[in-house]
Amino acid sequence: MKKLLPDEILVKFLRLLAMISGIFSLLICILIFINFFQLKRTDPLNSPALTLLQERLIQNPGDIALKQDIRQLDLMARKVFFTSQWQIRAGGYLLVACILVMIICLKTIELITPKIPSIAATGPEEPWNLRKIQRRWIIIAGILLVTFSLTLVWFTHRMLTGIPAEAGHLKANVSGRDSITGNPVLQSPVASLTSDTVRLLGNAVKSNQAVAEDFPTQQEIRSNFPSFRGPGGNGIAFQKNIPVLWDGASGKNIGWKTEIPLPGYNSPIIWKDKIFLSGAKENKREVYCLGASDGKILWTTDLSKIPGSPGQNPKVNAETGLAAPTLTTDGQRIYTIFANGDLAALDFEGKIIWTKSLGLPKNHYGHSSSLIMYHDMLIIQYDQTVSGKVIAFAGKTGEKVWETARNVKVSWASPVLANTGSRMELLLAAEPDVTSYDPATGKELWKLDCISGEVGPSVTYANGMVFSINEYSKLAAIRLGETPSLAWEDNEYLSDVPSPVAINDIVIVVTSYGVVVCYDAATGKKYWVKELEKSVYSSPMIAEGKIYILDKQGMMHILRADKILAVIGEPSLGEGSVCTPAFGEGRIYIRGNKHLFCITK
């Protein structure tokens, strides 16, 4: 076959052509990249100049010159956008063409140049040596891989543990039982935010020798759940890893449920691995202690016949019952009060330490104020239709430490203890005042006329502000200071049973007809309103940045304690309830109408 060109010349020519097309394609490549980045950087369709002119036009709608400018700029921007895109596309085709030419040239050279096999002068290396090297490198690869994986895991883990709130839910189950006593929860984000609330509840000075002291430290109080609405009665639990998902009907995440022999609307309290509550019917009053792990009733103490008991049943409303006040504990003894004014202190084995009768309360619905401990003193808000008072008894002996008369109407609210920064205050609410006392002496510190009616909800405290609420009255936000004063008030959504809760800079109100409202604590601005469409008697609790609201049908509405409404879950207990839930590490204890439920993860 005759050739048009000698091979050498053809190869030379092709090589040149390949080189030219190679350089050309490199150039096109660079141009495309420049164009691409320019388009990315300037982003003509969202040019700031255009936005600026648009904004100006909104201010001067009649400016015709401005309109012209915008039209021109808009046209230009679109032109730039589409031209750039066209350029990139055309460049792409050109690039492919160039590379194609280059490849064809090089392939042709390859085809026409004779292929000469090369044989190494020395034979191949010994295979076992090669394989030895290969094995070594595969081992290196394995080690590198594992190291890389574990580093990655470490970084992910750090990233994940940085997530607050629901993160606990994502983690594998952590045994709650073991950590109830184990970990002090001081470092919890919730705890640090409201730490001042409870700092002086325990004796911080003596915290080093906690166990030997007469009363528990703040840490101990926080890691337990010693009273109605948690430490200080403030509606905030410091436990962690709280469940958000359960179902009473199917038994999902229900650790156990135990029938409580006698009815009572008091809520459970928790100390270490024991849960205490009481029940009563006509002429029979009992205190129960349940094991937290299995829900077995460990002991029952009959308090039906204590010395000095009035011997007659008080007239109570069915919705209050004969055992409405929640118990309290100081870690050594538990204290209980019934609707007939019978008061008792028991030890952890159920043995009666002391009893007392305060006399049949003059209270037309029935006494319902829960108990609270301040250091080693048991404090009772004893508001009656006449001669209401607040009393402190020594926990150990039952001796009266102080008593202060209260010039208020009868109420059903419970006492709240708050550290206002400089001191501890005991906060009580009843028409007409919210009153603050020195819990050590019973001396009145201040009072503010801001509440009226038959007061059921207790107050709450957060960051220098006290919030009180009552139906047919108002929601009052009191700013503490030299002279406490009303910061703001609102009367759109009012509660006659559930107490408010406050955390960070929000306050949350739950009405008994099931509306949840979130206010700005400082200004009273409403952030959100949520209708549960169920009635609620239980008080809301905040734990792990979430609000737990239990409606009367036993559905728990878990919302985010935040300015933006987020429903985290609505698990149902399968039994009605009017009691406030108690929180253990990884657990919630809810007293339903018949049973005590332990909810786990």
Partner 1 sequence: MRRKQVILFFLIIGWLSPPAVMAIQRFPKPEFESGYVVPDAQLPLPRAELLAWLDVTVLLLTLSLATYLVLKRRSRMGVFLLSLFSLAYFGFYRQGCVCSIGAIQNVTMALFSGSYTVPLTVLFFFLIPLVFTLLFGRTFCAAVCPFGTFQDLVSFRPVRMGAWLNAFLGMIPYLYLGLAVLFAATTTEFIICRYDPFVGIFRLNASFGMFLFAGLLLVSGVFIARPYCRFLCPYGVLLNWMSQFSWKHMTITPAECIQCRLCENVCPYDAIDFPQTKKNPAGQRKQVNQLILLSLLLPLLVLGGVWTGGKMHLTLAGVNSRVRLARMIQATPVSKDQPEIPEITAFRSSGVQQQQLMTEVATIEDDFLTGSRIFGGFVGLVFGITLIRLIRTPYRTDYLPNRGTCFSCAKCMDYCPVLKDKTNN
Partner 2 sequence: MDKQSRRQFIRLAVRGTLFGGIALVTGNLILRQGEPLFGKNRKSGPTVWQLNPAKCIQCGRCATNCVKTPSAVKCTHAYSMCGYCNLCSGYFKPGTKTLDTGAEKQLCPVSAIKRTFVEDPFYEYTIDETLCIGCGKCVKGCGAFGNGSLQLQVRHPLCDNCNECSIARNCPAGAYRRVPLSDPYLLKGFGKEKV
Nearest CA to 531 out of 504, 493, 499 is that of: 493
Site string for partner 1, 188-227 (x = CB under 8 A): ----------------------------------------
Q: Contact between 131 and partner 1 (CB under 8 A)?
A: yes
The dihedral region occupied by 554, where left means phi > 0, alpha psi between -120 and 50, and beta the remainder, is left
Nearest CA to 315 out of 278, 280, 340 is that of: 340
Q: Which stretch binds partner 1 (CB under 8 A): 119-127, 185-193, 280-288, 346-354?
A: 119-127
C-alpha angle 176-179-182 in degrees, rounded to nearest 5: 175
Q: Contact between 153 and partner 1 (CB under 8 A)?
A: yes
CA distance 39 to 56: 26
- Kindly state the helix (H) or strand (E) to which residue 168 belongs, with its residue range: helix 167-170
- Residue choice 27, 141, 186, 405 for contact with partner 1 (CB under 8 A): 141
Residue 327 · residue 269 · CB < 8 Å: yes
Q: Which stretch binds partner 2 (CB under 8 A): 21-29, 46-54, 245-253, 424-432?
A: 46-54
Site string for partner 1, 76-115 (x = CB under 8 A): -------------x--xx--x------x--xx--x----x
- Residue choice 142, 182, 189, 311 for contact with partner 1 (CB under 8 A): 142
Q: Contact between 46 and partner 2 (CB under 8 A)?
A: yes
Q: Which stretch binds partner 2 (CB under 8 A): 75-83, 144-152, 572-580, 583-591?
A: 75-83
Compute φ and ψ for 228, nearest 5 degrees. -55, 130
Minimum separation from the CB atom of position 43 to partner 1 (A): 15
Minimum separation from the CB atom of position 169 to partner 1 (A): 6
Nearest CA to 463 out of 487, 432, 442, 431 is that of: 487
Minimum separation from the CB atom of position 533 to partner 1 (A): 11
The DSSP string of 434-456 is EEEE-TTT--EEEEEE---SS--
Q: Contact between 58 and partner 2 (CB under 8 A)?
A: yes
Residue nearer to partner 2 on the CB measure, 70 or 97: 70
Q: Contact between 75 and partner 2 (CB under 8 A)?
A: yes
Q: Contact between 49 and partner 2 (CB under 8 A)?
A: no
Partner whose binding site includes residue 81, from partner 1, partner 2, none (CB under 5 to 8 Å by kind): partner 2
Distance of CA 231 to the CA centre of its chain: 17
Count CA atoms closer than 13 A to 480's CA, side-chain side. 22
- Residue choice 145, 174, 186, 204 for contact with partner 1 (CB under 8 A): 145
Residue 196 neighbours by CB under 8 Å, 6+ apart: 419, 420, 421, 463
Partner whose binding site includes residue 136, from partner 2, partner 1, none (CB under 5 to 8 Å by kind): partner 1
Find the binding residues for partner 1 in span 466-495 (CB under 8 A): none
Site string for partner 1, 540-579 (x = CB under 8 A): ------------------x-x-xxx-xxxxxx--------
Minimum separation from the CB atom of position 22 to partner 2 (A): 26
CA distance 406 to 384: 9
Exposure string over 165-185, b if 16+ CB within 10 A, otherwise e: bbebbeeeeeebbebbeeebb
Residue nearer to partner 1 on the CB measure, 111 or 211: 111
The DSSP string of 496-552 is SSSPPEEETTEEEEE-TTSEEEEEETTT--EEEEEE-SS---SPPEEETTEEEEE-T
Partner whose binding site includes residue 58, from partner 2, partner 1, none (CB under 5 to 8 Å by kind): partner 2
* Count of residues interacting with partner 2 (CB under 8 A): 17
Residue 418 · residue 411 · CB < 8 Å: no
Residue nearer to partner 2 on the CB measure, 60 or 283: 60
Residue 456 · residue 474 · CB < 8 Å: no
- Residue choice 127, 187, 205, 307 for contact with partner 1 (CB under 8 A): 127
N-terminal to C-terminal alpha carbon distance within the chain? 86
Q: Which stretch binds partner 2 (CB under 8 A): 67-75, 240-248, 515-523, 540-548?
A: 67-75
Residue nearer to partner 2 on the CB measure, 81 or 446: 81
Q: Which stretch binds partner 2 (CB under 8 A): 68-76, 272-280, 480-488, 539-547?
A: 68-76
Residue 389 · residue 369 · CB < 8 Å: no
Q: Per the structure block, which two tokens stand in for 146?
A: 């594992």
Residues in the chain: 601
CA distance 190 to 165: 9
Longest alpha-carbon distance in the chain: 133
Q: Contact between 297 and partner 1 (CB under 8 A)?
A: no
Q: Per the structure block, which two tokens stand in for 53?
A: 């002119």
According to DSSP, residue 247 is labeled: B
Residues pairing with 549 in the sheet: 557
Per DSSP, the three-state class of 428 is strand
Q: Contact between 30 and partner 1 (CB under 8 A)?
A: no
- Residue choice 112, 138, 174, 204 for contact with partner 1 (CB under 8 A): 138
Partner whose binding site includes residue 57, from partner 2, partner 1, none (CB under 5 to 8 Å by kind): partner 2
Q: Contact between 54 and partner 2 (CB under 8 A)?
A: yes
Q: Contact between 36 and partner 1 (CB under 8 A)?
A: yes
Q: Contact between 91 and partner 2 (CB under 8 A)?
A: no
Nearest CA to 226 out of 439, 217, 258, 177 is that of: 217
Q: Per the structure block, which two tokens stand in for 123?
A: 């034979």
Partner whose binding site includes residue 209, from partner 1, partner 2, none (CB under 5 to 8 Å by kind): none
**Could you list the residues that contact partner 2 (CB under 8 A)?**
45-46, 53-54, 57-58, 61, 67, 70-71, 74-75, 78, 81-82, 85, 88
Contact residues toward partner 1 (CB under 8 A) are 29, 36, 89, 92-93, 96, 103, 106-107, 110, 115, 117-120, 124, 126-128, 130-131, 133-142, 145-146, 149-150, 152-153, 156-157, 160, 162-167, 169-170, 244-245, 558, 560, 562-564, 566-571
